[in-house]
Amino acid sequence: MHTSSLLLALLGDARLPSGGHTQSAGLEPALRAGTTSAEIPCYLRTRLRTVTRVEAGTAVVARAVAAGGGDLGEVEAAWAARTPSQALRANGRRMGRGYLRVLQRLWPGPLDARARTWSRPVVLGLLAHRAAMNPTDLARLVGYDDAQTGAAALLKLEPQDPLLITAWVNGLLPDIDEMAGQVAHLHTPEEIPAHGAPLIERWAETHDTTTERLFSA
């Protein structure tokens, strides 16, 4: 069996065919709205404290509920209630279908008939349960994936020195660890954090109707 740390490396790999390459972690609409390249580390840190923390908490709770044989539909409903933007909800569910393919191929097992309607954090929680990944590493995965997705998108949107961008992500690692420590103990849908990010949500809604774009979100 793979150790949890190796699973973290596997699932955090950008080459994983989960559809992550279609995302910019909201960076594309943020840049369109006037965010500068120099502000990207602050933008990614803000995401870690808001929308990403909600996703990480959802994934951790989904893992606990799956381990206890509970209803993941309740976790999905709690995530949706904490994600006001319809565009972000739709995108999260598209990504969930991508991770569902990973789950079915690498850790097959019985699935709820509603699984194709579940968001990425809920599917990741189920995946983490089947793969025996611990909750802290699961939350780290969600945080790292979000930061790395935004950083990688910047290379296409406004090319920078790749080492500078790598340094930005490296600088965010303590924030990712802190966020993971804050949510790793959660067990029930009611405990999932509820942090709003109105600008990110508004940008996502605007981006959803933009016809000329590189990323779906």
Nearest to 58 by CA among 94, 20, 96, 30: 96
Length of the chain: 217
Question: What CATH number should be reported for the domain holding residue 119?
Answer: 1.10.4190.10
Q: What is the pLDDT of residue 1?
A: 47
Q: How far apart are CA 3 and CA 64, in angstroms?
A: 19
| Six-digit token string for 110 | 């019985």
Residue 88 lies in a domain: yes
Residue 216 lies in a domain: no
Number of domains in the chain: 1
Whole-model pTM: value is: 0.93
Decide if 124 contacts 99 (C-beta within 8 A). Answer: yes
Residue 89 lies in a domain: yes
Residue 215 lies in a domain: no
> In Å, how far from its chain's centre is CA 146?
5
Q: What is the pLDDT of residue 5?
A: 81
Residue numbers of the domain that contains 36? 4-208
- 3-class DSSP assignment, residue 30: helix
Q: What is the pLDDT of residue 206?
A: 84
Cβ-based neighbours of 150, under 8 Å, separated by 6 or more? 24, 25, 26, 27, 40, 43, 44, 47
Residue 18 lies in a domain: yes
Report CA-CA distances (Å) from 173 to 17, 99, 141, 147. Answer: 24, 23, 11, 9
Residue 213 lies in a domain: no
Nearest to 65 by CA among 145, 3, 142, 138: 138
Residue 128 lies in a domain: yes
Decide if 30 contacts 197 (C-beta within 8 A). Answer: no
Q: What is the pLDDT of residue 216?
A: 67
Q: What is the pLDDT of residue 10?
A: 87
| Six-digit token string for 142 | 């969600």
pLDDT along the chain (217 residues), means of 10: 75 78 82 88 93 97 97 97 92 92 93 94 97 95 92 87 93 96 97 88 81 70
64-88: burial string, b at 16+ Cβ within 10 Å, e else: bbbbeebebbbbbebbbebbebebb
